[in-house]
Structures are given as structure tokens and as C-alpha cells.
Amino acid sequence: MRDVHTPARQRGEASSKNLVTLAVVALLVVLVGIFFLPNSQKMSDPAAEAQAVAERLQPVGTVEVMVAKAGGGARSGEEVYKAVCAACHAAGALGAPKFGDASAWGPRLGAGYAALLNSALKGKNAMPAQGGGDTSDLEVGRAVVYMVNNAGGKFDEPKAPAEAK
């Protein structure tokens, strides 16, 4: 590159032409940095980029689980169902009453919400306690109501302790 400093220093003054050239070069360097570096990183390794994003998100997810276990900010029945219960109830694995199957759920609805919740919390035959997942009691209750109400039942969604009053 042409040396733009020397003439100005030799004359002992800043030539305005040299200052303009310097400003343009500096601007170009910044623009190249902004436009090309992040793009080339992304294109060169999408897997690493995805990994980096996952790592940045991880602490948020951890906090969310802790909050859910403490009772506040509990997940909805649908969220818990998808995360835990669907593993068996979506396809009816191990003889689980299938999601949305009114004839499978029908005979169980008569037992009432309390009895079904009790089965879900403590387990029943091949059904593990809490579905084997990492959930609060409130979340299991919401998941029971979500499944039942999608199979012809009409249970009220259990309220969080703070909302119940």
C-alpha cells in the first residue's frame, strides 16, 4: 500500500488530502470487517455456529427448569406432554392410553381427576411416577388435564398455588 504518512510528517503538517485518504481506508477496513468476517465464519462451519448458539442458550434453559421446579413459571400441560408424556402416550406405547383416543381414555375418566393425577404422580403398572420426567406436581397435573381434555374429558386446569387464592 502507498505510504500516506511520510509526506505529511515531512512537511510537519497534516495534509487534508492525506486525512481524507486515511478516513476512506479506515472506513473500508471497518466495512470489510462488518460484512465479510461474520459471513465467512457462518458459511465455513454451520455446525460450530449452531453449537455456539446452543451453548449461549443453555444457561437460560437451566434457569427455566429450576424456576419450574420451584412452582413459579410452571410449564403448560401441552409443553409437559410434549417433553415427557408423549414418549408413551403419543403412540400408546406399553399399553398407555393413546393421546386423543376417547375410547382408551373414556373408562379412566370416571375415576376423576384426583385419581388420574394420583396415578400420574405415583405411577401405575408400566406408567412410571411423573412419567419418569423432571416435572413439578403442578406440571404433571396440567399434563393430565391436557391429555384428558383432548380425549373427550372436561377437567379444569389446576392453578398454580399463587393463582389459586
Name the residues that contact ligand HEC, by CB under 6 A. Answer: 80, 84-85, 87-89, 93-97, 108, 111, 115-116, 119-120, 124-128, 130-133, 135, 140, 143-144
DSSP string computed for 64-114: HHHHHHHSTTPPPHHHHIIIIIHHHHTTTGGGPPPTT-HHHHHHHHTT-HH
Q: Shortest distance, CB of residue 131 to ligand HEC, whole angstroms?
A: 3
Q: Which is nearer to ligand HEC, 73 or 98 (CB)?
A: 98
Measured from the CB of residue 64, what is the shortest distance to ligand HEC in angstroms? 17
Compute how many other C-beta atoms are within 10 angstroms of the C-beta atom of residue 67: 14
Q: How far is the CB of 81 from ligand HEC (least distance, A)?
A: 6
* Minimum CB–partner distance for residue 54 and ligand HEC (Å): 25
Tell me the angle at which helices 113-122 and 137-149 cross, rounded to the nearest 10 degrees. Answer: 130
Exposure on the CB side of residue 120, measured as CA atoms within 13 A:
32
For ligand HEC, give the closer residue by CB, 8 or 113.
113
How far from chain centre, in Å, is Cα 92?
26
Residue with smaller CB distance to ligand HEC, 14 or 115: 115
